[in-house]
Amino acid sequence: MKSMLTFEDFVLDREKKSELGTPEETRLLLDIASCCKQISGLVQDATLDAMEGATKSQNIHGDFQIPLDLAADGLLVNRLQSTEHLALVLSEEREEVYQTDNWSPRSKFVVAFDPVDGSKELEHGGQVGTIFSILRVREEGAPPSHLDFLQPGRAIVAAGMAVYGSQTMLLFTTGQGLHQFALSRKLHEWMLVNDDLKMKQGGLKATYSINEGNEVRWKDSVVRFIKDVKRSVEPVYTHRYVGSLVADAFRVMLGGGIFLYPEDSSNPKGKLRYLYEAAPIAMMVEQAGGLAVTSTGKRLLDVCPVDVHERSSLIIGEPRDIGRYSQFLGWAS
C-alpha cells in the first residue's frame, strides 16, 4: 500500500486507534525516526572517513570504530536521554548501560540499539543501517538496572531498523505488522511505502545467504544443509551475501529465501548481539510472515539473554526454507 502519509502521521493515527501502544512509546519511535534521518545524512559523508581509516578506539566487542560509529551513537544517546519516558539506553558502542538524565519513577521503557550496523562496509560502498528494540521496564517506579534488558525477545514492544543506501528505508513493528517507509530527499520526511510488508514466499527460485568463507568452521548440520540447497532443483537456490546484516535481512523480508549467521568453532555462541541485532531482526521477520530461529532450531524470540551484550546465532527466512534447515539439525556437529 502506497500513501503520502509521513511517519509521524502514521504513528499518531495508529495511536489514536489504539493500534500502537502508549503515547510514550509513540514519542520514542518519533525520536528514533528523527535520529535515523540525521544519521542518514552523516552516512553520505562517511565513506571518506571509512577510507581514511578507523579511530584508535575500540568498542566493547573489539571492533575498531570509525567516526560515524561515534557520531551516530552520540546523536542517539543525546536525543533519547532527554525524554522522561526512557530509563536506560544500551548501545553496541558502550560497555555499560546508560541511565538517562531525565529518568523518573514514571519512566516505562529501555532502548537498545546498534547505531551503525555494518560500518566497516562503508569502505566498499556497502549498505549500513541502524537497528533498535524497545522494552518495558520490569517494574515501573523501581530504580532501573541492566536487568530491565534481560528479557526474552518476545517481550520487545517495538523493533525496527533503518537501511541507508541509494534509497534509505525505515522499517518498524509493534507486533501488528511490519511497516515500511522511504526517506524523501525532497521533503526530508519518512513516507509510508507499505503498511503491512509481507515477504515473498514459495517461488520456484530462492536465495540462500551465508558467509561461505567460514565453511571450515561450520557445524556439520550447516555444511550438509548448504550442500543440499546447492543441489536443489525445486526451488533452485542462488547465493547472495552482502555482509551487512541490515542489507541481508532486508532482502529476506522482501524476497524470502533464507539467511544464516550460525555459531561456529570461532564463535560458539554466535557472533551477533541478541538485544540490538538478532532479536529485533527476528521480530520484524516474524511480522513479515517468516520465521527466525537459532542454529539449534529454537525460536529466537523465546531466548532470554543473561548479558546485555550477549551473542547469538540467527537463521531467518520463509517457513519453507527454515523447515528445510530444521531437517538437518539431527546431524552430529
CA-based R_g, the chain, Å = 19
- Would you say residue 304 lies in a domain? yes
Q: Is the dihedral of CA 278, 280, 285, 287 positive or negative?
A: positive
pLDDT mean across residues, the chain:
91
pTM of the model: 0.93
Task: Pinpoint the alpha helices (H) of the chain.
Answer: 7-16, 23-52, 67-80, 220-231, 245-255, 279-287, 319-326
Residue 1 has what pLDDT?
A: 45
- What lies within 8 Å, CB to CB, of 78 at 6+ separation is none
Q: Which residues are registered as beta bridge partners of 172?
A: 160, 179
Return contacts of 179-185, CB within 8 angstroms, 24+ apart.
179/10, 181/7, 181/10, 181/33, 183/37, 183/40
Enumerate residues 6+ apart whose C-beta is below 8 A from 324: 225, 228, 229, 258
pLDDT at 46: 65
pLDDT in tens, 12-38: 998 887 777 788 999 999 999 999 999
Do 317 and 293 meet the contact criterion of CB atoms below 8 Å apart? Answer: no
Rounded mean pLDDT, 152-161: 98
Give the pLDDT mean for 62-70: 75
- Rounded to an integer, the average pLDDT of 175-195 is 96
Q: Which domain holds residue 143?
A: 7-194
Segment 257-276 mean pLDDT: 97
Q: Is the pLDDT of residue 175 over 60?
A: yes
Do 209 and 83 fall within a single domain? Answer: no
Mean pLDDT is highest, among 40-44, 54-58, 188-192, for 188-192
Percent of the chain with pLDDT over 70: 92
The whole-number pLDDT of residue 51 equals 45
Same structural domain, 255 and 171: no
Query: In which order are the strands placed within the sheet that holds 98-99?
Result: 98-99, 86-91, 109-117, 128-136, 158-164, 169-173, 178-184, 189-194
CATH of the domain at 171: 3.30.540.10
**Residue 58 has what DSSP assignment?**
B
Give the model confidence (pLDDT) of 199-227 as tens digits: 999 999 999 999 999 999 999 999 999 99
Say yes or no: 149 and 275 in one domain.
no
Please, is 188 exposed, middle or buried when counting C-beta atoms within 10 Å of its C-beta (0-12, 13-18, 19+)?
exposed
| In a shared domain, residues 48 and 116 | yes
Of 44-48, 74-78, 97-101, 288-292, least confident by mean pLDDT is: 44-48
pLDDT tens digits for range 105-128: 889 999 999 999 988 777 767 789
pLDDT at position 126? 77
What are the tens digits of pLDDT across the range 234-251?
999 999 999 999 999 999
> 240 and 99: one domain?
no
Q: Are residues 83 and 217 in the same domain?
A: no
Per the structure, the count of domains in the chain is 2
Final residue belonging to a domain, choices 194, 214, 234: 194
* pLDDT classification of 332: cutoffs 50, 70, 90: very low
